[in-house]
Amino acid sequence: MTTRRLVLHSFAATGAVAALGLPRFAHAQNAYKAEYKMSTVVPPAFAWGKGGEIFLTLVKERTNGRIVIKQYPGASLVQGQQDREFSAMRQGVIDVLCGAPINWTSTVPQLGVFTLPFLMPDHKAWDAVMGNEQLVRDYFEMVRKAGAEPLAIGETGYRQISNSKRPLVKPDDLKGLKIRVVGSPMYGEIMSSMGANPTFMSFADAQPALASGAIDGQENPLEVFLAARIHTLGQKFVTKWNYSNDILLFAIAAPVWASWTPADQRIVREAAIDAARQQVLIVRKLFAEDVERVSALGVAVHVPTPPEMEAWQIAARRPYARYKAQTEPRLVSKIEEIVAKSRKT
């Protein structure tokens, strides 16, 4: 099966799985809001934000305007603090989430199971995991228990590391560098375990900090590196190490979901599945081009050899074990089994 077909199959299966065991809600007729607020960390110029835009457009078209979703990029509903999105959703500030669960682990730690370092080292592994119906069913149930109705899974993209000082070929090369990470203790511990000094800040705050030299580097998908023109902020070196790739979760606050009719719930779910499918294809296209495009900007891009990758993985073992235990070890073990099986096929 080709990667494209596998991705499409994977998300179609996810949608079918999500429909199973759907809790029965009491639907409040004529209680629809004039507008539902959706938070995204980045605008539609990025693949992540584009996924949100596709979703809201499909929902409006397919419900004939009964459900209108407005996108608030830059996590502006929570003053740019993306780690507050899930708690804000619980408080009724946010109605729709189109985001990376790693940002919400301070609120719901177990939702970060997909982000452990080097857990899914490539797209073959990632597709195998997301194509496993039982695993997706189990994950969606965790999301429901946390207070949201999960609809579909997109992809945020493999996170790579850049800096202004030197090439990063081995873990020791990170020693002493100030690296911006999102508000995830796990990402901070990964950097600390390799000798870096992690600095937690929002994406909006990171850009002037890079420009001023207050921090030395950052980690993000290269698609973000390109769209945000991070090379203009003094970032001269990139290592494409694929150390983490979170899902992009499309989800609705449980009270909002309960207020919609079954027919509209079905329409919204199908719109999310279609949007996720399109968003993944955008991410994959950008991933295939990113080394060439970043190199063309005069940035030195290093793609680790297998022995170099093994050294990075070994350096991350301690935080891996710690956060496996803190998230959902049973589910992580299942992911490990699926990945190992994918390596044999």
Q: Which CATH number covers residue 172?
A: 3.40.190.170
Q: Looking up tokens 């309960």, which residue turns up?
A: 258
154 and 263 within one domain: yes
343 belongs to a structural domain: no
264 and 201 within one domain: no
213 and 67 within one domain: no
Q: From the CB of residue 256, how many other CB atoms can be counted at a distance below 10 Å? A: 22
294 and 284 within one domain: no
104 and 59 within one domain: yes
148 and 66 within one domain: yes
For the chain, what is the domain count?
A: 2
273 belongs to a structural domain: yes
What pLDDT sits at residue 202?
Answer: 84
What pLDDT sits at residue 8?
Answer: 41
Q: Quick one: DSSP state of residue 28?
A: -
345 belongs to a structural domain: no
The phi and psi torsions of 131 (rounded to 5 degrees) equal -85, 0
Give yes or no for a contact between 154 and 130, defined as CB atoms under 8 angstroms apart.
Answer: no
| C-alpha separations of 122 from 43, 129, 328, 334 in Å | 26, 11, 22, 17
* Rg from Cα positions in the chain: 19
41 belongs to a structural domain: yes
302 belongs to a structural domain: yes
What pLDDT sits at residue 203?
Answer: 82
338 belongs to a structural domain: no
**For the whole model, what pTM was predicted?**
0.88
| pLDDT tens, residue order, the chain (345 aa) | 444 444 444 444 444 433 333 343 444 445 899 999 999 999 999 999 999 999 999 999 999 999 999 999 999 999 988 889 999 999 999 999 999 999 999 899 999 999 999 999 999 999 999 999 999 999 999 999 999 999 999 999 999 999 999 999 999 999 999 999 987 889 999 999 999 999 998 888 999 999 999 999 999 999 999 999 999 999 999 999 999 999 999 999 999 999 999 999 999 999 999 999 999 999 999 999 999 999 999 999 999 999 999 999 999 999 999 999 999 999 999 999 999 999 988
274 and 173 within one domain: no
142 and 47 within one domain: yes
263 and 125 within one domain: yes
337 belongs to a structural domain: no
**252: domain range?**
3-158+246-288
The phi and psi torsions of 199 (rounded to 5 degrees) equal -125, 120
151 belongs to a structural domain: yes
Give yes or no for a contact between 157 and 279, defined as CB atoms under 8 angstroms apart.
Answer: no
309 and 213 within one domain: yes
209 and 250 within one domain: no
What pLDDT sits at residue 1?
Answer: 43
263 and 143 within one domain: yes
